[in-house]
Amino acid sequence: MGKERLVLVGNGMAGMKVIEELLAIAPDRYDITVFGAEPYGNYNRILLSPVLAGDQTVDDIILNRVEWYAENGLTLHSGCEVIEIDRFHRRVIAADGTSAPYDRLLLATGSNPFIIPVPGNDLPGVLTYRDIHDVEAMLAASRRQKEAVVIGGGLLGLEAAYGLMKQGMTVTVVHLEETLMERQLDRPAGELLKHSLEARGMRFLMKAQTAEIVGDGRVQAVRFANGSEVPADLVVMAVGIRPNTALAQRAGLYCERGVVVSDTLQTFDPRIYAVGECVQHRGQCYGLVAPLFEQAKVCANQLAELGYRYYEGSVTSTKLKVTGVELFSAGHFQGGGECEELLLQDSSAGVYKKLVIRDAQIVGAVMYGDTADGAWYFQMMRDATPINDIRSTLLFGQANLGDSGHGGVRQTADLPDSAQICDCNGVCKGTIVEAIVSKGLFTLEDVRAHTKASASCGSCTGLVQQILQNTVGNYATPAITPLCRCTDHSHDQVRETIRRHHLTSLEAVFAFMEWKTPDGCEKCRPAINYYLIVTWPGEAIDDAQARFVNERMHANIQKDGSYSVVPRMWGGVTNPAELRAIADVAERYQIPTVKVTGGQRIDLLGVKKEDLPKVWGDLSKAGFVSGHAYGKALRTVKTCVGTEWCRFGVQDSTRLGIELETMCWGTWTPHKVKMAVSGCPRNCAEATIKDLGVVAIDSGWEIHVGGNGGMKVRATEVLCRVESATAVKEYAAAYLQLYREEARYLERTAHWIERVGLSYVKQRLVDDAAGRKSLAERFHASQRQAQEDPWAKYADKCHADKFQTLQEVS
């Protein structure tokens, strides 16, 4: 039996994205034929404005060259407009007589610019703004003519006007409404935008209704309903787009504003699919790229007959691609009704921010001048994050949550190409922009894969998202972020499934949740392994091959492949015998570096892999256990000396630190956990940047949570005050267990608390005493399994497969 035939009508971004996705997941399923009315391969239509502005060339924005189609086994008919679908015989017919039979048909006919029905709209010199042809015509006109009028003050119109201005024309923007970009901006933001563009020399005629385009054989002026006129050598109509449904309608497919499709992107004829600007889904037509790509992913999944993805509509955000204008808009930005508004307006700095809040969640945002936090607000909007706890600082942005931000840089637009964005991997702005343009990237994940920017510590993620936004114009994050590329399920879905269906092994999870890869990958395997052992302690199998090398080897791998060994020093307290034992080990195994760590213990660096069991054996004999300096686990409990020695101390912080460490060591957590106990409010143990910090006060103890040193400094927030050390321990156990049970793998306590809100943590731990006790009990139950010293287990034994080379060959 031959392959099924898939025909794509419309060689644009949406249709070709479906084909690319399909080739990735089911490369051999279809014989594919592509019809495109334009005489090119597929190009990046959203980058037409930079081409018009002279920032990029047509060549820069080609996504798939003509040769690409042949290389991938596709038949391309470019410059070939399909004029008929014969649904009875299942074939399409083009204007030049070419026809192609189909088993499945994909319509991606896009949209047409709306032409205002006024006299003179067909005069030479009147253009629309839609494709390469239009851009070339505008560029040609700008070389000969002077006066341009752009009708339409929306996104497209302003980008066209800006481009023409950059090409040296005098540009007047004519807009019917009072506010520019009224579909994305409220009035104050629209005003700021207008002033900024006026300062660059753009002219505006607001509330102006075009009555006629005047000209004798060629455009000469635009006349308005009030009788006034402006001279014009070139008129660009950019008043909106209409889904191109003509072909579908002729074929008898049900259309309203667009071709009506279901959640599987099928039209009323189930053999015919449609994606992109031509479709209407749940009453909504989209003209931005992000929703089209979401549709494309679903459509490819359906065409490959995998059938587990559905399109449920998109939440979108917008950016204007005008250099130096920072503008962001998303969701219900107008507010009103039951919404509240948070406003920040600084006219002299040219900054305006409005957040629309409903039921303690962000439902819309408009920002002008400072858009660094756009992606952050948008993410919270998508995730429906409760904002009550951060309401008072929300408008000031993520940097004011206690995060240190990113070197104070909040704007990427004005940065030179040589500015370093990702400090971990040394990636400059120019490299990122170049990759986005030349490789046709649209998501943060793509940018990370191709440039490594924001792929390490992630602190520059906001800046990378901003560059992405500035370059491609709009941006969307998926409604559900999949755990990794092996699945479409999120962290939370995986964990809930493990709990509900009592899954106790990786294999069971892979089978039950229909993993796309046989073994998972380096991202999902450790995560699932963690969820398994936390959900079913003592029952789930802890799979060594799902552990990173450090947790598998119980030591920290170093850049030269040697390891570092850190024995536990309870509360940072040691004695001469222990120090002597460490000194002996260091000498016996010729350990090159001995260093005091930031967590009050001693690091032995440069231990050879084959020496590890012997080193551990000697340390075990001296009474040491593993310090878990290598794990997503309890690291240290840092203390100051407290009442035992200090003249200011008000409680015995050292003793409480030792008791906490004794209680908590050996537990596995979503990410590393650090604790500290200070003996008085002077806080010498720096407890307020730990995951759990305890600060002694005269009447007892203050418990702090969610602090973080390192790449993003975040001070703790106060959970509560208690009177006794026993109470501290109960809270600590319950807090750790809540974190273990509910945070996502690799989410530090700081990020987890930012996500769920401190109120929630307080409600579970402070308000609900019974809940707290039962969390603490679950923690202790899990500790009975977990507190087995991994070093003692391997000490002095051979374990050849773990530590020895297989063979030496001379």
Partner 1 sequence: MDRPTTNWIAVGKPDDIPVLGARVVKTARGPIALFKTRTGEIFALLDRCPHKNGPLSEGMVHGTTVTCPLHGLNIHLDNGKAVAPDKGCVPRFPVKLEDGRIWLGLTALRQADSSAPYTHSSEGDEGERPRLAKLEK
Sites of contact with partner 1 (CB under 8 A): 439, 449-450, 517-522, 525-526, 544-546, 548-549, 552-553, 557, 559, 561, 800-801, 805-810
- Residue 521 Cβ vs partner 1, minimum distance, rounded to whole Å: 5
- Residues 255-294 as b/e (b if ≥16 CB within 10 A, e otherwise) read beebbbbeebbbbebeebbbbbbbbbbeeebbbbbbbbbb
Residues near 780 by beta carbon (within 8 Å), at least 6 away in sequence? 733
Which CB atom, from 98 or from 456, has the smaller least distance to partner 1?
A: 456
Which CB atom, from 575 or from 805, has the smaller least distance to partner 1?
A: 805
Residue 632 is given by DSSP the state S
- Tell me the C-alpha distance between 302 and 106, whole Å: 12
Q: Give 700's strand partners.
A: 697
- Residue 442 Cβ vs partner 1, minimum distance, rounded to whole Å: 15
Which CB atom, from 29 or from 450, has the smaller least distance to partner 1?
A: 450
- Residue 518 Cβ vs partner 1, minimum distance, rounded to whole Å: 6
What CA–CA distances, in Å, run from 615 to 88, 468, 610, 717, 790? 78, 50, 10, 40, 13
What's the sign of the alpha-carbon dihedral 740, 741, 744, 745? positive
- Tell me the C-alpha distance between 744 and 741, whole Å: 9
Strands 241-243 and 111-113, how do they pair? antiparallel
- Residues 789-801 as b/e (b if ≥16 CB within 10 A, e otherwise) read bbbbebbeeeeee
Closest CA relative to residue 676, chosen from 702, 699, 700, 650:
702
- Tell me the C-alpha distance between 543 and 246, whole Å: 58
Take residue 335 and report the two structure tokens written for it.
């507010």
- Phi first, then psi: what are they for 437, rounded to 5°? -75, -50
Residue 470: CB atoms within 10 A of its CB come to 23
- Residue 562 Cβ vs partner 1, minimum distance, rounded to whole Å: 10
SS3 annotation, 288-304? CHHHHHHHHHHHHHHHC
- Tell me the C-alpha distance between 581 and 619, whole Å: 7
What's the sign of the alpha-carbon dihedral 318, 314, 14, 463? positive
- Residue 543 Cβ vs partner 1, minimum distance, rounded to whole Å: 9
Closest CA relative to residue 425, chosen from 442, 448, 399:
448
Which CB atom, from 491 or from 525, has the smaller least distance to partner 1?
A: 525
- Residue 415 Cβ vs partner 1, minimum distance, rounded to whole Å: 24
- Residue 440 Cβ vs partner 1, minimum distance, rounded to whole Å: 12
Which CB atom, from 264 or from 550, has the smaller least distance to partner 1?
A: 550
- Residue 437 Cβ vs partner 1, minimum distance, rounded to whole Å: 15
Which CB atom, from 526 or from 642, has the smaller least distance to partner 1?
A: 526
Which CB atom, from 520 or from 613, has the smaller least distance to partner 1?
A: 520
- Tell me the C-alpha distance between 588 and 300, whole Å: 62
Q: Give 105's strand partners.
A: 7, 272
- Residue 746 Cβ vs partner 1, minimum distance, rounded to whole Å: 13
- Residue 765 Cβ vs partner 1, minimum distance, rounded to whole Å: 35
Take residue 505 and report the two structure tokens written for it.
């092994």
Which CB atom, from 71 or from 338, has the smaller least distance to partner 1?
A: 71
Closest CA relative to residue 473, chosen from 756, 790, 51, 34:
51
Which CB atom, from 69 or from 515, has the smaller least distance to partner 1?
A: 515
Cα-Cα-Cα-Cα torsion 377, 379, 384, 385, nearest 10 degrees, comes to: -70
Which CB atom, from 348 or from 545, has the smaller least distance to partner 1?
A: 545
What's the sign of the alpha-carbon dihedral 229, 230, 231, 237? negative
- Residue 786 Cβ vs partner 1, minimum distance, rounded to whole Å: 22
Beta carbons of 180 and 153 less than 8 angstroms apart: yes
What CA–CA distances, in Å, run from 735 to 84, 168, 433, 671, 679? 65, 64, 43, 14, 21
Which CB atom, from 305 or from 522, has the smaller least distance to partner 1?
A: 522
Which CB atom, from 226 or from 805, has the smaller least distance to partner 1?
A: 805
Q: What is the CA radius of gyration of the chain?
A: 31
SS3 annotation, 591-618? CCEEEECCCCCEEEEEECHHHHHHHHHH
CA atoms within 13 A on the CB side of 753: 29
- Residue 420 Cβ vs partner 1, minimum distance, rounded to whole Å: 18
- Residue 447 Cβ vs partner 1, minimum distance, rounded to whole Å: 11
Which CB atom, from 450 or from 755, has the smaller least distance to partner 1?
A: 450
Which CB atom, from 128 or from 529, has the smaller least distance to partner 1?
A: 529
Which CB atom, from 386 or from 631, has the smaller least distance to partner 1?
A: 631
- Residue 239 Cβ vs partner 1, minimum distance, rounded to whole Å: 40
Which CB atom, from 210 or from 459, has the smaller least distance to partner 1?
A: 459
Which CB atom, from 152 or from 526, has the smaller least distance to partner 1?
A: 526
Please give the full DSSP string across 534-579, using - where no structure is assigned: HHSTTTS---GGGS-HHHHHTSEE-TTS-EEE-B--GGG---HHHH
- Residue 430 Cβ vs partner 1, minimum distance, rounded to whole Å: 18
- Residue 135 Cβ vs partner 1, minimum distance, rounded to whole Å: 29
Which CB atom, from 384 or from 800, has the smaller least distance to partner 1?
A: 800
Triad 476, 482, 485: Cα angle to 5°: 105
- Residue 424 Cβ vs partner 1, minimum distance, rounded to whole Å: 10
- Residue 618 Cβ vs partner 1, minimum distance, rounded to whole Å: 23
Residues near 409 by beta carbon (within 8 Å), at least 6 away in sequence? 415, 463
